[in-house]
Amino acid sequence: MLSKEIIRSILSHARDAQGYIVKMRRDFHKYPELSFNEIRTSEVIAAELRQLGFNVQTGIGKTGIIASLPVDNATRTVAFRADMDALPIEEENDLDYKSSHEGIFHACGHDANMAMLLGAARIIVSLKDLLKRHVRFLFQPGEEQPPGGAIYLIEQGALHGVDEIYGLHIDPAIPSSVFGLRSGATMASTDRIIITIHGKGGHSATPHLCVDPIVIAAEIILAIQTIVSRKLNPLSPCVISLCQISGGTAFNVIPGRVKILGTARTLDDNVRNALPSLLEDTIKGITSYNNASYEFEYLGGYPVLYNHEEQVDFVRGRIKELFGDDAVKNMDPLLGGEDFSYYLEKINGAFVFLGSGNREKGANQPLHSPQFLIDEDILYKGAALMASIACT
């Protein structure tokens, strides 16, 4: 537990840093960069951290950063991570700092995640005499693009000597200023499905002479939905979404091939392990009955993100100390995915959400929406939380 004096000091420094955090967030927002191409973003962050006195390594996982702040007499290390990449989405907001890169937009709030961590860095440096652990910051590329940047940072030593790790992410589904937190399975695995159906093309007027892969695809798409509803335990969350179908060249030609792309997500590793055979059995049965053939690929994505109970309890306590009992809620698990899960497979830690949803300010659109906005007034609170974790 922190003393009231330290809490007041953290909050005072955090409020002082609010303008800086907003400025950095808007800069990142205006100049977004896609996964593993965060070149300018990385340069800006590295310059800020060096100015604060951090030891900075760049080029980690191509564009990632590992920044360290040694603390006298410390024997343990705590790490914090922010993701850097934007999405291939055209922004539809009318802002002074609207994305200047056509078709690229920070629609997942990573601009805010980076800015809050930079704000935390300023607070931590101001309170360095209070630190009892070495501090390491990870600015990670490619969270949105499998296989994700986390595995590359881990391979290049990002967690070497680290005892705990924490991540913070904006969430418009949570009311502004409220933190969302849970222990155990918190975010889903994110596997990808690729199905190719090979039939026999021909004239639309003679379907009896063809093997129509479009009709077969329709059967497969409908049948796959019964896997979740009839073949899996309904108490084990799972969703299979088939999101793209392509095939055919004309209104009167039955094509020879159709391709289906989708994703499977679950919070249960047993379900995850069972899904490939359940999917392939369904595809095989339908294509065989229709005298067609198939190709099936099940590509493993990010694993289930498991928050560690001890670190979750610790963070919950910190939030209450800083902002009161009502500032944190025990959130439901999400079927979205995050490669922060790779860090939590290696060491203990917690992934935390900060609510930015505010309907009155128009900040009520979901993540990945072209109209996504955040309530910037809450950003200093995320920085304060990260700084308070370092002051342990």
- Catalytic residue status for 360: no
CA distance 304 to 337: 7
β-strands 179-181, 328-330 pairing? parallel
CA distance 302 to 265: 10
Going along the chain, which residue ranges are E strands? 55-60, 64-69, 77-83, 134-140, 164-175, 179-181, 184-187, 191-198, 202-203, 238-246, 253-254, 257-266, 293-299, 305-307, 328-330, 348-357
Q: What residues pair up with 245 in beta bridges, in sequence order?
A: 260
- Catalytic residue status for 376: yes
Q: Which of 166, 302, 306, 343 is catalytic?
A: 302
Q: Which of 31, 343, 376, 380 is catalytic?
A: 376
How would you label 154-183 residue by residue, b for 16+ Cβ within 10 Å and e otherwise?
A: beeebbeebebbbbbbbbbebbbbbbbbbb
Q: Which residues belong to the active site? A: 302, 376
